[in-house]
A and B are shown apart, each in its own frame.
Chain A
Amino acid sequence: MEVQLLDIRKHFGPIKANDGISLSVPAGTIQGILGENGAGKSTLMKILSGFQPADNGSILLDGREVAMKSPADALRLGVGMLHQDPLDFPAMRVADNLLIGAPGGIRLHRSQLRASLAEHARSVGLALDLKADVSSLTVSERQQVELMRLLWLGARVLILDEPTTGISAAQKAELFSTLRRLAERGKTVIFVSHKLEEIQELCTRVAVLKQGRLVGEATPPYSVRQLVNMIFEREVTPGARAACAPGGPILKLSSLAVERGRIRLEGLDLEVRETETIGLAGMEGSGQSLLLKACAGLLPPVEGRVTMLGQELAGKPYHYFKRNGVAYVPAARLEEGLIAGLTLTDHFLLTQRKPGFFIDREKGRSIAQERIAEFNIRGTPSNTAESLSGGNQQRALLAIMKPEAKLMLLEHPTRGLDIESVIYVWRKLKERCNAGGAIIFSSSDLDELLRYSDRILVFFAGRVSTPLDADSTSVEELGRLIGGGSV
């Protein structure tokens, strides 16, 4: 199905999220959408999929102008969207609803529906266990379920907003081949990402947004330099790897064992020193977050010790850890990190040290302004958390972290950030590190792990490797280890 967007405009107060975007996507193509954080990508996609109306402009499907008042409307017309935040779309309920809320009735049709779904899954090449309990699915599996649902309901245009942020390399390869297959059959795929190599690998054409406008289009072969130039209007180069000079010990784990659900980590020994950065690699759900939570005091260890600056902390409550210089930044931005409905100022006020009793709004505003500038957040102090773009939420999350924290525990700290912001945020984090802090972070991006870590722990099926020296490890080797290879 051919998609045409004509002069789409969408303003939020003074912010022009979409400022007259016209774009046409022929049937059977995989259209990439690039752009820095807050450029207006998600806004445009939400307009195209009926989640929000444009202030102005029109949408044409196969040359016919359409009006979409809701996602259901859009889907009836053949447009389906996979949302940016995997936690934001209720995949579980969707799958249930699919069977329960389907036309025709209750019991009897269930098996028929199942059969028809399974048939459909096979035909598009998705291997899904339809009987599995949806809550046990990984992000990637949920994505597949949602993708399936959209296709089953007749989507001919598929929109994927940063679908690769929570999935492994193998899962990504699978997703890409599915998308290619779909495009070959004439479906139109619109793919939003910050990762240029993904765009290069997958997309047959790409459009670049900046500050709500379409600033460029390209077709293969792409040059990374050219794309980066279009996105940021300048060259972006990551700084050289800086070697750290480790200081005194900050955190010491001795024969630590932690357990949650099916995963159990055992016999962990690790010493983290000042200025050090430890990367945690592995497939999603291999125990990285268990380790981070144990270090944060959110998961009491089954046995072993957690020693922070010489003080034994194992078994102490989270807030005690926090008071003693531990900061934890969760991956689920709007679930655990930020509070929807509160403004940025509110967030900074909430996390102030020694706040006193009465709120000084002016001071709050100026602190907010300062941190907004420091972390380059596109937004104002009175923006609520949920009104920020995905990448800007991520920056806000890092900006509200206590500056005086000695040990920073970060789950996917740069998830959803554009390339420039990744570099920028890491510079900020490293500054804090070099001022005597230490970082332990998890990531699914191998380059990021190798570039910013000093040592890397690889998680596989509940086992943790001995720390690898990031300097002498290659992407290939790291990839092999994550897949279960031995050192």
Chain B
Amino acid sequence: MSDARTSHSTPTRLRSLLTGDAWINFGLQIGALILAFLLTSCILLVAGAPPFEAYKQVFLGAVGSVTSFSNVLVAWVPLLLAAAGVLVTFAAGLWNIGVEGQIVLGAVLTTWVLRLLQDTAISPVVIILLAILAGVVGGALWAVLAGVLKTFGGVNEIFGGLGLNFVATALTLWLIFGPWKRPGIGSMSGTEPFPERLGLPTMAGLRVSPWSLGLGILAVILVFVLLERTYFGLRLKAVGKNTRAAFLLGVPTWQYGLLAFLFCGGLAGLAGAIQVTSVYHRLIPAISSGYGFMGLMIGMLIAYRAIWVAPVALFFAALNIGSIQLPIVLKLDSTLSGVLQGALVLFVLLVEGARQRYMRRVRMRIAAPTTLEAPLSASGET
């Protein structure tokens, strides 16, 4: 992964967009896309479904009507937030697998504040603001926990994050079936829905809220500016690329690691808060819907270049929403979108890996000793 991260920062990439190199890269990415579709088609054929028809259904399901497209936008927002968040941790060289749990914690804290204040006389606007703020804080704290485990406990953030994800899910289930259960009996359908006044206002007749859309887009812009235009972002990258040198150059490295977690967790928490206040209007067991992991996939897919977050997240959202139709129309499972997304990430990484390997042979070896394996070990076999 470190290879992909060291490849290009966005400005150099924009500049090199005119050179031949960039065209080759672009061609390779398209190739990966085609391969992903081919693999998915094979799987469809094995499953006995006509691939073309399936893709058509996905397409229509995503953009066939205003309603369906607005649903795509609904799914787009948490993806934007999660992907933007993980870019910050990726920049610092951290694998924030815990982003999923951070979304959950955001949702939990938002629900908590809403429950606490829903019967008071406080104005709904204030309640919503406080609830969303609580969500942000919840996600951030959950992320910092993973960071603290790493920094002071020596627990790799991948394992810490995984563990915290489990804890977060368990916590939600416990709340839904325990203290926050519906009057009567707790059920998988979640907590008692909040009154409509405690939800973010939506566009007329649709499920998408302009407020959450605005927040999602704002987050992406914020992260872009942060990473590309501020000293904070530069220091994060320095830490991510070479922690030891960054430390010697005067960057307080572990503090920046924690800040990256804090920031990413805050955005994930915001995603959770939006799921509660503008999508489900309650806490449900699967409140994060896998958006955290998808955010990570998007991060890898775009090789950590913030400028690509929005379009790729939109594509992923469209696949998700579009494939909802499949079980009804083609008797296929809607996880098809997941297959395609996964295949896409794999192929893009594969192609990138192959390109790097090739370039490494071609160009000067720039990698640190730990990431070097190919050329010299290969020669050991002669």
Contacts and interface: CB of A to CB of B under 8 A. Distances in A.
A93 B367 CA distance: 15
Contact of A359 (B231, B241, B246, B247): B231
Interface in B227-264: 229-232, 234-235, 237-238, 241-242, 244-252
Given A53-B362, A90-B376, A340-B366, A400 B237 contact: no
Q: What is the size category of the interface that chain A forms with chain B?
A: 35 or more
Contacts of A101: 377, 380-381
Contacts of B234: 342, 346, 349-350, 359
A71 B365 CA distance: 11
Contacts of A339: 238, 241-242, 245-246, 249
A355 to B, nearest CB: 5
Interface string B369-382: 10011011111111
B245 A341 contact: no
Interface stretch (A214-222, A245-253, A329-337, A437-445): A329-337
Contacts of B376: 71-72, 89-90, 93-94, 97
A172 to B, nearest CB: 24
Contact of A358 (B229, B250, B367, B372): B229
A102 B379 CA distance: 9
A380 B14 CA distance: 18
B356 to A, nearest CB: 13
B359 to A, nearest CB: 10
A8 to B, nearest CB: 15
A103 B249 contact: no
A155 to B, nearest CB: 10
B5 interface: yes
Contact of B235 (A153, A350, A400): A350
Nearest to B247: A318
Contacts of A46: 364
B231 A355 contact: yes
B361 interface: yes
A90 B241 contact: no
A52 B366 CA distance: 12
Nearest to A323: B250
Given A350-B235, A359-B229, A93 B377 contact: yes
A76 B382 CA distance: 7
Interface in A58-90: 69-72, 75-76, 87-90
Contact of B382 (A72, A318, A386): A72
Interface in A173-197: none
A394 B145 CA distance: 40
Residue of B12, B235, B245, B381 contacting most chain A CB atoms (<10 Å): B245
B189 interface: no
Interface string A345-382: 01101111001111100000000000000000000001
Contacts of B331: none
A89 B380 CA distance: 14
B369 A342 contact: no
Nearest to B244: A336
Nearest to A333: B245
A46 B382 CA distance: 20
A446 to B, nearest CB: 28
B156 interface: no
B378 A90 contact: no
A51 interface: yes
Contacts of B187: none
Contacts of A387: 364, 366
A340 B95 CA distance: 20
A70 B382 CA distance: 13
A349 B381 CA distance: 45
A316 to B, nearest CB: 14
A337 B247 CA distance: 10
B230 A359 contact: yes
B121 interface: no
A337 B366 contact: no
Contact of A70 (B231, B248, B375): B375
B328 interface: no
A328 interface: yes
Nearest to A74: B379
24 contacts: A69-B361, A71-B375, A75-B379, A93-B377, A94-B377, A153-B379, A328-B248, A335-B368, A336-B244, A338-B242, A339-B241, A339-B246, A340-B6, A341-B5, A341-B237, A341-B241, A346-B237, A350-B234, A350-B246, A355-B231, A356-B231, A358-B229, A359-B230, A382-B12
Interface of A: 46, 51-53, 69-72, 75-76, 87-90, 93-94, 97-98, 101-103, 153-154, 318-319, 322, 328, 330, 334-343, 346-347, 349-352, 355-359, 382, 386-387, 400
Given A94-B377, A153-B379, A339-B246, 18 more contacts: A51-B365, A51-B375, A70-B379, A72-B376, A75-B379, A93-B372, A93-B373, A102-B380, A318-B248, A322-B250, A330-B248, A341-B241, A341-B242, A342-B238, A342-B241, A359-B231, A359-B234, A387-B364
Top 9 closest pairs, chain A to chain B, by CB: A72-B379, A341-B6, A101-B380, A386-B366, A97-B380, A339-B242, A90-B369, A72-B378, A71-B375
